[in-house]
Amino acid sequence: MSQAMSGEQPGGAASAPLRLPANFVPRFYRGGSRLGPFRRIATGPYDGEDWVGSTTQALGAPEGLGPSRLADGRLLAEAVAADPEGFLGPDHVAAFGTSTELLVKLLDPDERLAVHYHPDQEFARIHLGCAHGKTEAWVVLDAPADGAVHLGFREEVSAEALAALSQAQDSVAMLAALNRVPVQAGDAILVPAGVPHAVGAGVFAVELQEPTDWSLMLEHAGLDLGEGGEWHLGLGPDMALAAVDRSGWTPERLAELRLPAPLPLAPGVARLLPERADPFFRAESVSAGALLAAAFSVLVCVDGELALVDEAGGRTVMTAGESVLLPYRYGRCALEGSGRAVRCLPPPTDSAAVTGAR
């Protein structure tokens, strides 16, 4: 990446794009065979997740695993805390405080992920003492010809049937109860909290999430969930299963979780997720001709080469596999070049009125 990525202002704020080095968080599943070449760095057999722009601690992992460090060695969380308005903008701070409201990952499983689900905000607030649940979304970068995700029960499942399914740990029966959704590069799918799901082997994606690591495992037999790890997060099976969305997800309901195609918003900018994602995060495809407003955001260059041109004419070039954080204080920038990036943003500030200020 050309141009020095420092530009720090007094007090720790940044006035230039900040490079986000790879931040692998080893998990219990095998992964990383596409992620390593994409990031141009060696990966281990369990490096299937790169937490990009993270202020979130990984559950069941050593302290400090999960939060991102900037190229100068500072934790992103520390840099934001030193100058929240510089990084996040005054409106964001007024609505959400110093929380970035966003966790971005590169997800690269080499095997199918176990069926799991995440608590919503209300459940997390009441039972986990946390303001955030874990609604998430996938922006697919690559997938095999038969690539698929499993998402939502095909038909409504009773509480008794769900408990029996969990106790039996019958993987075949679990997958049969879920919708199999074929995916290919370019697809973007919202995954509401509570909906059981599993990403198939070889599906490489940018993943946007609320900034937590809450996961409840419907399929958990034989998994190593880390030190002190329990599939039910210590809540007990009955309470944990109460967080599952047991409703049936028909093809019509599933269609509401994605757009038929990226929705053009402005030259070089297209919305990737339906509006129902906005209270949690936003994702855009950006390319040459885009004029990006000042906002805290994470850019992942997924193809070719892009130049970010600031209002003073300064240029920062990023190529496929690189990611940068744009602080609010960086201001507006224009994009030039032949590449494309996924731009990940927190919810708009008026979403605080919908979800409740954190």
Q: DSSP state, 114?
A: P
Distance of alpha carbon 118 from alpha carbon 208, whole angstroms: 14
- How far apart (Å, rounded) are the C-alpha atoms in residues 28 and 47? 9
Per residue in 111-158, pLDDT tens? 999 999 999 999 999 999 999 999 999 999 999 999 999 999 999 999
pTM: 0.94
CATH class held by domain 23-255: mainly beta
- Whole-number Cα distances in Å, 192 to 78, 261, 274: 30, 20, 12
- Asked if pLDDT for residue 49 goes beyond 70, the answer is yes
Tokens 């973007």 sit on residue: 188
pLDDT digits (tens, 9 = 90+) for 143-152: 999 999 999 9
Residue 267: CB atoms within 10 Å: 11
Cα 116 → chain centroid = 16
Q: Where are the domains of the chain?
A: 23-255
The string of pLDDT tens digits covering residues 195-213 is: 999 999 999 999 999 999 9
- Distance, in Å, from the CA atom of 67 to the CA atom of 74, rounded to the nearest integer, reads 10
